[in-house]
Structure 1
């Protein structure tokens, strides 16, 4: 297929022909803008916003992991997030050697929401350095590690012990988004024989860099796409449920609040009237005396609910007891109780 010339190349060619000269070799250096190739065989499944959620969760995880390693190894460590990339599983698997240990982590969203398996790999120099420090050594990076190096049984036990510390804080990293539980299923040394995930399955690989006293290594976390689909579906459902409760169910919420408080006990009193009396007159009062309330005989009585006037009524009797018949509702309920 012939090469397609850019506009700048065409302009240079025309200028050279019109000028009677030859085309310079420098023209071919301008190939126009560089565009990123899109792989139609493996299209991206997760949007940038969803990957940002993973990035935020594992940035929290890195901070907590650093504190956990500081207390475990009794030395300062730096843990930082490098990349969060969507790839095929074979790209993660091909980067491992045959004898690399792979930690299988069971992630659960709840009884109804299911879960899946996450794979975590710690580079061999970093893991050997941490094991050496746990056994009382200096934790220096080994000078030479053969490509076919395999962990001993004791090292695998210590490997799993350290992995438990790394997995224990993963729940807290996700705490800002949802409640997830993580537990180690096993440490697999023959990852090439695993059949838990297909080689062409979409995964997201989280690369974390760890620096401990001159020793550098990486922690690679491989999250299958099926698990991430469940996680993001759960987050979308949670978000939509919150929005619906805040909007469409507002009236129902008000009704529920009223149903909850309508059984509360309130004091209801009726006020006949007001009178101003001198203390001397009160001192001289005796049985049979009459106090003028300064209100007509058939006037309305104020009915208070707690300290506010809610109703106007008429005094009367019912079953030989004093009673008040409600005549109207007071629309201005901010009137306070007056002094008798």
Structure 2
């Protein structure tokens, strides 16, 4: 038979339950802690500092190339870096239109290839301008023909020459077009899951604008990836400036300059001037002990004394004038 509790025992049990400790609350630090989402299938292989350095590098390229392309097409071209991101090669291909000018670029001596993709909205504008038009596009976008691809090749080669100069402080890369296609699905330079760096250039010409993509697989950049950083770019930029000054001075060493010395003046009538003959002597309005002005390419730079060295007329620089 079950034991029946008395009223006193029931009261004791109820009072014991009321004295039990309440569950402890979690510390505020644990509650407020932020969690960063990380996808282990798509690790960031290029640091934010390297992405920033690549953007600075190609900002400089965009300025140089816009000037060169403006002169080449004889019209005003504006080029800006729209973005620099890392993504998978499959995502890059999906982001392109189906009628893109797809140029495969060899990056010798690096192992692998890159991509320069010109979207049709700006590609046809460039073709029209190269063929003597005002730079207009078609209403209905269609795939590029082989002839149009060869015309755009001039633009791509012009772009590659500037890219070679911009990348020279990091690595001597020889950019060369190895294939041209009109569809991004025809050529696959790496596996779709491989991470690539995508530099997107926005090109403006008149009322038209479009995109040129420059894609480089990270696996191709790995041998020189450690050289790409904001600090290294800054030191390279300073070194380039010093080298450029030295090069300019070396070039100027061989430049010929016209030197003229002003000896003095005198007044003469037109009749006497027309009757001048050898051994005629006229007195200048200047003493022999006065300074003579020396002009370099028409600009007064020095004052000098007149004299003679080994039976040859000469001047001795006395002071610099401004």
User: Shorter-chain TM-score: which interval?
Assistant: 0.5 to 0.7
Per the alignment, residue 285 of structure 1 pairs with none
String of CA shifts for 1:36-87, please: whole Å, max 9, x gaps. 7433321211111211221122112111210121011101111111111010
Structure 1 residues 138 and 50 mapped into 2: Cα distance closer, same or farther (>3 Å)?
same
Give the corresponding residue for 1:49.
49
* Aligned residues of 2:204 and 2:210 also touching (Cα < 8 A): yes
**Is 2:99–2:120's contact at 8 Å kept on the other side of the alignment?**
no
Verify: 1:164 aligned to 2:157, yes or no. Answer: yes
* Shift, 1:189, TM fit: 2.4
From 124, 142, 163, the equivalent of 2:138 is 142
Scaled by the length of structure 2, what TM-score is found? 0.57
**Contact kept in structure 1, 2:53 and 2:228, CA below 8 Å:** no
* Pair 1:235–1:139, CA change in 2 (3 A): closer
The separation in 1 between residues aligned to 2:67 and 2:34, in whole angstroms, is 42
Cα contact 2:128–2:137 (8 A) shared by 1: no
Residue matched to 1:107: 107
Gaps spanning 5+ residues in structure 2: where?
A: 1-31, 236-322
Cα distance change, pair 195–121 in 1 and its aligned pair in 2 (3 A) = closer
Distance 1:231 1:188 in 2: 28
Q: Report the count of equivalent residues.
A: 200
Pair 1:87 & 2:87 matched = yes
> RMSD of the alignment, in Å?
2.5
CA distance in 2, matches of 1:235, 1:91: 24
- SS at 1:192's partner residue? coil
Corresponding residue number in structure 2 for 1:334: none
User: How far has the Cα of 1:163 moved from its partner?
Assistant: 1.2
The structure 1 segments of at least 4 consecutive aligned residues displaced by more than 6 Å after TM superposition are: 32-36
- 2:97–2:119 Cα contact (<8 Å) kept: no
Residue pair 1:178, 1:235 contacting (<8 A) in 2 also: no
For residues 195 and 122 of structure 1, the distance between their equivalents in structure 2, rounded to whole angstroms, comes to 17
Decide whether the 8 Å contact of 1:77 with 1:212 is kept in 2. yes
Q: Distance in 1 between matches of 2:56 and 2:43?
A: 23
Aligned equivalents of 1:150 and 1:206: distance in 2? Answer: 23
C-alpha distance in 2 between matches for 1:211 and 1:177: 29
1:42 and 1:143, CA in 2 relative to 1: closer, same or farther beyond 3 A? same
Out of 169, 185, 190, the residue aligned to residue 197 of structure 1 is 190
